[in-house]
């Protein structure tokens, strides 16, 4: 397969997200196949997105408060300070999603760091640094400013119905229908690019697990009707978006 040169892009991510893990495994396969990738891994806190407390932030919350995924962000930044982010990144994702370990536990993260060849004493010192989460705050705010779907929806939708997730999944369905049809019927696109866009980008952008979780939250809170609406709307609107993408690609 001919080399098409260096491919550069950014990924905003949270270690708790299963789609980040899947995308990372895919990107490993792309590199193993001979592609040269330069990935800018940037932090994005799902705990921050899911918070209902105005003014609360995952990076400024007191240490006594449990914030899902926060320790993993600290670990990743501590690894960056040693110039060993890539050494820790995949092992941390595997620990969470393959091995089902709790990466909010210090002993688990310490073990992963040690196995990844980090200087453990410096690693622990950096994690304790009060400025360690400043990059998380910067990256998360940048992501919201540049790609602020969730923030925009929050301004105009006050119900507990998860409209942001619906919009994300619907637009992902549209892009998948459009791109897959163009790739198959209109353009001579490298199969590796098809895999990268369809499975990597769209797979990481959309989120079935969040859809399931938010539906469960609706039913648990007594809003069974809204839960059913969410399921039916997601399936039907998603199908319509795929179909629209296919039709536009064939025009």
> Considering the domain boundaries, does residue 1 fall inside one?
no
Domain shared by 106 and 197, yes or no: no
Domain shared by 120 and 176, yes or no: no
Cβ within 8 Å of residue 178, ≥6 positions away:
245, 246, 248, 249
Q: What is the pLDDT confidence band of residue 152, given thresholds at 50, 70 and 90?
A: very low
Domain shared by 198 and 88, yes or no: no
What pLDDT digit, counting tens, does each position of 99-113 carry? 999 999 999 999 999
> Across all residues in the chain, what is the average pLDDT?
83
Domain shared by 67 and 174, yes or no: no
Buried b (16+ CB within 10 A) or exposed e, 203-217: bbbbbeebbeebbeb
Q: Is the pTM of this model over 0.85?
A: no
Q: Which residue segment(s) compose the domain that 28 sits in?
A: 7-147
Tell me which of 195 and 142 has the higher pLDDT.
142
What pLDDT digit, counting tens, does each position of 47-85 carry? 898 888 889 999 999 999 999 999 999 999 999 999 999
Neighbours of 94 (CB within 10 A): 15
**Direct distance between the N- and C-terminal alpha carbons of the chain, in angstroms, rounded to an integer:** 31
Contact 241, 173 (CB under 8 A): yes
Domain shared by 129 and 235, yes or no: no
Domain shared by 131 and 18, yes or no: yes
Domain shared by 158 and 129, yes or no: no
Question: What pLDDT is attached to residue 114?
Answer: 97
| Closest listed residue to residue 162, CA positions, set 109, 246, 234 | 234
Instruction: Tell me the two tokens of residue 49.
Output: 């997105």
Cβ within 8 Å of residue 4, ≥6 positions away:
35, 190
Domain shared by 162 and 122, yes or no: no
């Amino acid at each position: 397969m001919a080399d098409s040169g260096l491919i550069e892009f950014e990924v905003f991510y949270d270690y708790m997200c299963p789609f980040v893990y899947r995308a990372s495994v895919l990107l490993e396969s792309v590199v193993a196949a001979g592609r040269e990738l330069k990935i800018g891994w940037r932090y994005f806190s799902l705990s921050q997105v899911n918070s209902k407390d105005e003014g609360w932030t995952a990076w400024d919350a007191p240490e006594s408060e449990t914030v899902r995924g926060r320790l993993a962000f600290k670990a990743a930044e501590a690894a960056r300070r040693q110039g060993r982010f890539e050494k820790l990144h995949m092992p941390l994702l595997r620990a969470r999603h393959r091995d089902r370990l709790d990466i909010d536990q210090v002993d688990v993260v310490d073990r992963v760091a040690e196995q990844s060849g980090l200087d453990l004493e410096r690693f622990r010192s950096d994690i304790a640094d009060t400025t360690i989460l400043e990059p998380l705050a910067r990256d998360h705010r940048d992501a919201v400013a540049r790609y602020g779907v969730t923030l925009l929806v929050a301004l105009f939708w006050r119900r507990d119905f998860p409209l942001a997730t619906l919009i994300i999944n619907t637009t992902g369905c549209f892009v998948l229908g459009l791109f897959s049809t163009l790739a198959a019927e209109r353009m001579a696109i490298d199969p590796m690019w098809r895999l990268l866009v369809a499975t990597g980008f769209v797979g990481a952008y959309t989120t079935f697990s969040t859809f399931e979780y938010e539906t469960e939250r609706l039913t648990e809170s007594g809003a069974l009707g809204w839960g059913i609406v969410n399921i039916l709307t997601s399936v039907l609107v998603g199908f319509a978006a795929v179909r629209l993408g296919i039709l536009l690609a064939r025009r």
